[in-house]
A and B are shown apart, each in its own frame.
Chain A
Amino acid sequence: MTKIPIWRRYARMFGPDAKADVREELRFHLDAKTEELMAQGWRREAARDEAERQFGDLRAVEKIGAAIGGRMEQRKRLADHWTDAMEDLRYTLRTLGRDPGFTVISIVILALAIGANVAVFSVVNTLLLRPLPFPNADRLVWITPPKSGCGLSCSTYTADAFEDLRAGVRAYDDLTGYMAFSTPNNERLTGHGEPVPATGIEVISNFFSVLGVTPQMGRVFRPDEMKGPHAETVLTDAYWRRQFNADPAIVGKAIELNGTPMTVIGVLPASFDFGAIFAPGERVDLFTICDLDAERNWGDIVTLIGRMKPGVTLAQTADDTARVAPTLYFNKKYADTLGRFKGEMVPQDLKGYVTGKLRRSLIALWSAVGAILLIAGVNLSNLLLARAASRTKEFALRGALGASRGRIVRQLLLESLVLSSGGALLGLGLALGLIVWLRSQGAIALPLLNSLRIDGQALGWTVLIAFITAMLFGLLPGVRMASGNLQEALKDSSAGSGQSRKHERVRAVLVVTEIALACMLLVSAALLLRSFMKVLDVDLGFEASRAASIAVDYDGDAPTAEAYVAKMSPVYQQVLGRVGAIPGVEVAGISDYLPLGPNRSWGTPLPEGKQKSYAPGEVPSPLVYVVTPGFMRAMGIRMEGRDFTWADRVGSQDVVMINRSEARLFWPGESGVGKTLVDGDGRLLVIGVVDDVHEESTEAGTGAQIYYSALQRRASSMQLVVRTQMKPSALAGSVLQTLRDINPKQPAAEFKPVQGIVDRANSPRRFFLLLVGVFAGLGLLLAALGIYGVISYSVTQKTQEIGVKMALGASTGRVQMEVLRQTLWLAVAGVVIGSVASVLATRLIASMLFGTSAQDPMAYLGMAVAIAIVALVSGYLPARRASRMDPMVALRGN
């Protein structure tokens, strides 16, 4: 083979052409064949025909050749690109490695911003975007009255209503529900030494099948087990692991709950967390069947959850439900209770019910981290610009050596891409840490926190924001650099030349943007902080400090309410007597429900003689608490009139206490004490009026409340509240010991400070405040970095100018003042723009504010002061450097 001489290589001047190559190769073959045949004596035309005939289907072979050739060409091109990219990447890593300070700072800044974004995205994704962890969760609805102002009691219905609704509706596949009035540690696991408290939820037996939860072991309750007693229980995964050491043979075993044997029929999957969805911040251990027959006369007790038929819309379901609701009885025993649920049943999307309230908070949070990302990006731009300025010559040289403008921009983009990739990796680690921490915060009353995770979507989000950040903020310095004037740059560019002035202006604009963004974050955080303080200041109606509660357990099973009360009365007296005698205990009392927890209502007592003056439904049912003497003082609820006494027992006059709201409703302008209420056939003497107690949340208003004597009404549980003179924790041991002395079956329940209940109620607000606060701090820090960078750079640029001034007699102070003035200008501009932006931005969080105006001047003032301080500090360092300069060195330098 002879090499083709250079002059004959014109054919592929315009790039490779696989098709032409194939044609040429085959033509050569045919020519050679033809010549050979001619040498054997064939005529030219005949030889050509014969050669083609021998070859076969020329066209088909050509096609194959073109395809293979094209493939190889593409692969080669790809390999070339790859080599190019690797070369650029190596160059980038080398240049970044030469400037470790810059590299580390950029990556850390980006990591903080990206980490915060990914973590918040995961939260938003879990709570807002992802469906609930059930199959076809979009078909699940929660049924509530249109407006709910009266606590959990309002979104619950009676057993009769549930059954008839289930039978009557057509839009649903099925309806289910659970017993809403369970309290933590309402069960005790007995039979293995010390009784252990456990939290059980009674569910209607089709609960798991309607939700679509399949057990990891055994089975769940069957839909036909709704009525009658069933001694069966289903354990949660966590409880099975914790209490039964993940016993693989647990199914079929009997455990003892409150002394009754129950068969474990199944274990739920780890993915099902009842508390995370229906009772945020609560832990649930096991489930039992809600016996509809037994609880038929208990009033509104079950929540309603429905699964819509496929293809049925929410509106159709709502119509269907509204059609059936008026035909329902509150209790079929009483004909006049027909129609009580008319207009009281509106299905809403279950997901919306679970997380709807958080929607705005989450969007606000998302915006906050978005602002952080912007600040970080602007900071990166700023750093890149500063760096680019000092690399002008490098780029000019590369340009002069033939690197295209595109190649240089690509190089700069690659640099910011490498930085943001590093930031994304580190940020992902940070986010992971944050997520793991959040997931373990069981005490935060936010739904679904347990299912937080960094999933594929979060990873995708990370890649996306890292890429966008790199492109957006790498492009600006890239374009600015590439458009620079080569000749000018190649000349020894002196400080203060036009180019660097222009740079400085761009950088100043960037810093002002940064400050403005930080302002918005600071104002938001300040407003939330003020709101939180206000919430802490709310008069809850009780005195949380120095009070603690413990769930007392006593087997008071009795056929009737009277028998129950008769059996329990001496127990109450004994418990309170003994606990009250413990040194350090001021007073003790018992209630069946505590504030800020679950609640219930029954009946609507009306003032005697005025029953007729209220239309049905006009007076809300008050929330009911059944309490013992001493409870009001133990809880620190202020009271007018007298407390219950041990003499207020069955057989004597029925007595109640009502709260101020109820008293004001019935007897405006008068004291309610001494008045009489009528409920059905019973007359209730109001012996006391107490302060309104926040029953649902620390923020919402309060409704009507009524307190019955535990010696006259059946209490549904026993929550002992103790007011102490010392720290409650110091008494935990002796209180539990006393309870054990009285009742050896008393489980080792937790002696919880009442403050803890309040803290839990405030936890979502604290959570958001904490996050927004941290983000604002981060924003401020980044802004400070930005200010420092710009001022420091401009001081360096003006070294000569400053040197001249000092040589001409300018004092140190004057030089410092000048630099600081420049800093303050940036800060003022940022604060002004930021304030305007904040007025708009805070609309987003207006609904999250409590007792605080979105234009709260204190918040704005605080923000301005914070920015001013940060600006002064970050400006002072370069200012001091400037004033310490030796004029001679400065003049000679550069």
Chain B
Amino acid sequence: MEKARLDLLRGTLDVLILKAVVWGPLHGYAITSLIRRQSDEALLLEEGTLYPALWRLEEKQWLEAEWGLSENNRKAKFYRLTAEGRKQLLHETKIWEAYVVAVAKVLSATRPPVAEEAV
């Protein structure tokens, strides 16, 4: 199968970021590579939009930022999920799942629905 580069649906970036830091604090670069790897290279974040999204989440206090040292001992800004962020992640995951199921139902339909208006 050809590797498709999928454009992110509007509004899904936030939930992906929240999910990325659920296992522990990460810096911005690590977040991009984590999402890329988790999605089998299907989702490539635009770096120019990632950072503003991170800062907005920090401002909303769903993420907490702290300066720390990266794997190769360089100063980097790490983001950590807050309790409120975790709640938000749960909430948005549920919405997303419901959305996916609904869309899938429609797309996988093979017959028109039993027309109510025909009765």
Contacts and interface: CB of A to CB of B under 8 A. Distances in A.
A4 B67 CA distance: 7
B100 interface: no
Given A61-B51, A65-B52, A3 B68 contact: yes
Contacts of A2: 68-69, 73
Interface string A65-77: 1001101100000
Interface string A53-82: 011111011001100110110000000000
Contact of B52 (A1, A58, A61): A61
Contacts of B51: 25-26, 29, 61, 64-65
B75 A28 contact: yes
A72 B25 contact: no
Contacts of B67: 4
Nearest to B46: A56
Nearest to A35: B72
Interface in A794-816: none
A68 B56 contact: yes
Given A2-B68, A61-B52, A28 B76 contact: yes
Contact of B28 (A25, A57, A58): A25
A24 B47 contact: no
Contacts of A33: 29, 47
Contacts of A21: 77
Given A1-B68, A32-B29, A64-B55, A56 B47 contact: yes
B59 A28 contact: no
A160 to B, nearest CB: 78
Interface of A is mostly: helix
Contacts of B29: 28-29, 32-33
A21 B25 CA distance: 18
B68 A69 contact: no
Size bracket, chain A contacts: 20 to 34
B47 A28 contact: no
Interface in A1-38: 1-4, 8, 21, 24-26, 28-29, 31-33, 35
Contacts of A8: 75
Contact of A25 (B24, B59, B73, B76): B76
B52 A64 contact: yes
A55 B48 contact: yes
Nearest to A32: B29
Interface string B49-71: 00110011011000000111110
Contact of B55 (A58, A60, A69): A69
A70 to B, nearest CB: 11
Nearest to B68: A1
Given A3-B68, A56-B47, A69-B55, A31 B28 contact: no
A32 B74 CA distance: 10
A2 B69 CA distance: 5
Contacts of B25: 1
A57 B55 contact: no
Contacts of B59: 68, 71-72
B49 to A, nearest CB: 8
A846 to B, nearest CB: 66
A28 B75 CA distance: 8
Contacts of B74: 28, 31
Interface string B9-39: 0000000000000001101110000000000
Nearest to A55: B47
Contacts of B75: 4, 8, 24, 28
B47 A4 contact: no
Contacts of A32: 29, 70
A71 B61 CA distance: 13
Contacts of B77: 21, 24-25, 28
Nearest to A9: B67
Contacts of B72: 35
Nearest to A67: B55
A797 B3 CA distance: 93
A25 B70 CA distance: 12
A3 B78 CA distance: 10
Contacts of B47: 29, 33, 54-56
A1 B76 CA distance: 9
A32 B47 CA distance: 13
Given A55-B47, A56-B46, A29 B28 contact: yes
Contacts of B73: 2
A32 B77 CA distance: 13
A4 B68 contact: yes
Interface string B73-89: 11111100000000000
A72 B56 CA distance: 10
Contacts of B48: 55-58, 60-61
B55 A28 contact: no
Nearest to B28: A29
A777 B93 CA distance: 73
Nearest to B29: A32
Contacts of A35: 72
Nearest to B55: A68
A72 B64 CA distance: 12
Contacts of B66: 1
Contacts of A28: 27-29, 70, 74-77
Contacts of A71: 59
A363 B88 CA distance: 63
Nearest to A63: B52
A405 B118 CA distance: 86
Nearest to B66: A1
Residue with the highest number of chain A CB atoms closer than 10 Å, among B24, B56, B76: B76
A669 to B, nearest CB: 98
Interface in A28-50: 28-29, 31-33, 35
Contacts of A55: 47-48
Q: Which 9 A-B pairs have the closest CB atoms?
A: A56-B48, A1-B68, A32-B29, A2-B69, A68-B55, A25-B77, A1-B78, A55-B47, A28-B76
Given A2-B69, A28-B28, 16 more contacts: A1-B24, A1-B78, A4-B67, A4-B69, A8-B75, A24-B75, A25-B27, A25-B51, A28-B29, A55-B47, A56-B47, A60-B48, A64-B52, A64-B55, A68-B56, A68-B59
16 contacts: A1-B25, A1-B78, A2-B69, A3-B68, A8-B75, A25-B76, A28-B29, A28-B75, A28-B77, A29-B51, A32-B29, A35-B72, A61-B52, A64-B55, A68-B55, A72-B58
Interface of A: 1-4, 8, 21, 24-26, 28-29, 31-33, 35, 54-58, 60-61, 64-65, 68-69, 71-72
